Amino acid sequence: MNARRRKKDEPWPRRVYARSGTFWWVRPTDEQWIKLCRVDEGETKMLERLAEEKRKIEIDPNAGNMPRLVDVYMDSHESKYAESFRVEWRRRGESVKTAFGRFDIQQVDAGAIYDFLHDNWGDKLPTFQAMHAWLSKFFAWATVKRYATSNPCREIEVKKPKKRTVLIPSDHFMAIREALGVYTYEKKIKGVARTITAKVPTGPMMQVFVDLCYLTIQRSTEIRELLWKQDQADPFGCSWVDEKAGVIHFVPSKTEDSSGETVDWPITPEIQAVLTRAKALAPTFGQRYVVRDENGEPKTDAACRDAWRDAKRRAGLAKMPYTIKDIRAKAMTDAKRAGYDIEALQIAGAHADRATTEIYLKSRDVPVSTVRLALPAA
């Protein structure tokens, strides 16, 4: 919607309009209508908000237009990503703004993109890929909006990452799980050095987290954001425990905007025991999330990652490359070895196609040769 000429004199600044009891400002850079405040909040509030919005598009004489365009892109596309990913997504955008702060978008060619990616993440392929993907989507948008004439990211070759072959042995998995709940330290008692075993305050909740990751074969994000009840604000976009139906409704965030694959996971006796433990942990009042911190909020990815790293160290496995994401791989591989067919695992993993499941398992379940030879006769 474009700004229109005023049909009558109004006492508001240029490009400010009062519509339906709200002050709006039409941003000159992209003709977007920006909400300032309610009319009943007063003109002073409106002017403060107007100044705030204008500062966002002020041009630094030493800066190019890249930072401003990245801001416009992030503001208009942030809502398309899962809430759990938005902070990381914006952080990547801020890295782009910093690196290309003095560039106009027309100056950012394939060479500039190449230098940016290789200078920062040449030896970190996953991050290299993530930043390349971010920039590619940004330039695709900029091309459609006619800010750029082409997408320079297309000229950058991106290597495919090596398939992850890590499989956590069962004894190592259980050792890390145990170490999540306890730690040991040396203490002298009456002059005698003794080893004291103490409990980790967050250990029981982290064990709930790890157990559910394994028993449900779901991604750790789904377990961290799992609700006790359906979210009425987003009833079909949340994962929640349906005790009445005896299932957990999983809506994987990774497929929510693509294949839309979902899965209902039966609450088995083993899972029920874990859920019962979770309910008994503090805070017990007003529980919303199954796996939660001391404030009742969902545990962050960083908190879970740090707890897992510390538990590996306490278990004497600090040098092993095991990550929380490997729990899902272990669970699927263990299920296959237990006799479940590929179709059952595809449903369990909420994969859109069988090929995805086969690739996922093949990289971790090493085949055993049945060929037997003897030395040839002389």
| CA angle in degrees (0–180, nearest 5) for 222-83-72 | 150
Q: Tell me, yes or no, whether 103 and 207 share the same domain.
A: no
Task: Compute the distance between CA of residue 30 and CA of residue 287 in angstroms, rounded to an integer.
Answer: 44
User: Does 368 fall in a domain?
Assistant: no
Q: Tell me, yes or no, whether 261 and 114 share the same domain.
A: no
Mark which of 121, 155, 189 sits at the end of a domain: 155
Query: Can you read off the two tokens belonging to residue 318?
Result: 């600090």
Q: Tell me, yes or no, whether 118 and 43 share the same domain.
A: no
Longest pairwise C-alpha distance within the chain: 109
User: Does 2 fall in a domain?
Assistant: no
Contact by Cβ (8 Å): 192, 180: no
User: Does 179 fall in a domain?
Assistant: yes
Phi, psi angle pair for 234, to nearest 5°: -145, 65
Kindly report the number of other CB atoms within 10 A of residue 352's CB atom.
Answer: 14
Query: 293: helix, coil or strand?
Result: coil
Query: Which residue's entry shows tokens 């960083």?
Result: 302
Q: Tell me, yes or no, whether 47 and 79 share the same domain.
A: no
What's the CATH number where 184 sits? 1.10.443.10
Q: Tell me, yes or no, whether 276 and 182 share the same domain.
A: yes
For 343-375, the pLDDT digits (tens) are 888 888 877 788 777 766 756 667 778 888 888
Spatial neighbors of 182 by CB under 8 A, at least 6 apart, are 197, 198, 199, 200, 203, 314
Mark which of 127, 155, 183 sits at the end of a domain: 155
Query: Which residue's entry shows tokens 């092993």?
Result: 320
Asked if residue 13 has a cis previous peptide bond (ω within 30° of 0), the answer is: no
Contact by Cβ (8 Å): 319, 309: no
Q: Tell me, yes or no, whether 85 and 192 share the same domain.
A: no
Q: Tell me, yes or no, whether 77 and 226 share the same domain.
A: no
Domain that holds residue 134: 66-155
Q: Tell me, yes or no, whether 142 and 189 share the same domain.
A: no
User: Does 28 fall in a domain?
Assistant: yes
For 94-130, the pLDDT digits (tens) are 999 999 988 999 999 999 999 999 999 988 888 999 9
Query: Can you read off the two tokens belonging to residue 298?
Result: 């969902």
User: Does 307 fall in a domain?
Assistant: yes
How many domains in the chain? 3
Q: Residue-wise pLDDT tens for the chain (378 aa)?
A: 455 555 555 678 889 999 999 999 998 877 889 999 999 999 889 998 998 888 777 655 556 789 989 999 998 898 888 776 888 999 999 999 999 988 999 999 999 999 999 999 988 888 999 999 999 999 999 999 999 999 999 999 998 777 788 899 999 999 999 999 999 888 888 888 888 889 999 999 999 999 999 999 999 999 999 999 999 988 888 999 999 999 999 998 765 554 557 899 999 999 999 999 999 998 888 899 999 999 999 999 989 999 999 999 999 999 999 999 999 999 999 999 999 988 888 888 877 788 777 766 756 667 778 888 888 987
Contact by Cβ (8 Å): 69, 147: yes
Provide the CB-side half-sphere exposure for 243 (13 A, CA): 9
Element (H, E) at 207: helix 203-216
User: Percent of the chain scored above 90 by pLDDT?
Assistant: 58
Q: 196 - beta bridge partners? A: 185
| CA-closest candidate to residue 96, choices 77, 71, 118 | 71
Q: Tell me, yes or no, whether 182 and 316 share the same domain.
A: yes
Q: Tell me, yes or no, whether 86 and 40 share the same domain.
A: no
Task: Compute the distance between CA of residue 180 and CA of residue 312 in angstroms, rounded to an integer.
Answer: 8
Query: 265: helix, coil or strand?
Result: strand
Q: Tell me, yes or no, whether 91 and 237 share the same domain.
A: no
Mark which of 8, 37, 56 sits at the end of a domain: 56
Q: For position 38, what pLDDT does the model report?
A: 93
User: Does 376 fall in a domain?
Assistant: no
Contact by Cβ (8 Å): 322, 310: no
Q: Tell me, yes or no, whether 70 and 47 share the same domain.
A: no
User: Does 9 fall in a domain?
Assistant: no
User: Does 291 fall in a domain?
Assistant: yes
Q: For position 107, what pLDDT does the model report?
A: 93
Contact by Cβ (8 Å): 57, 46: no
Query: Can you read off the two tokens belonging to residue 367?
Result: 């085949």
Q: For position 258, what pLDDT does the model report?
A: 45
What's the CATH number where 148 sits? 1.10.150
Query: Can you read off the two tokens belonging to residue 36?
Result: 């300032």
| CA-closest candidate to residue 301, choices 109, 138, 3, 88 | 88
Gap between the terminal Cα atoms of the chain: 89
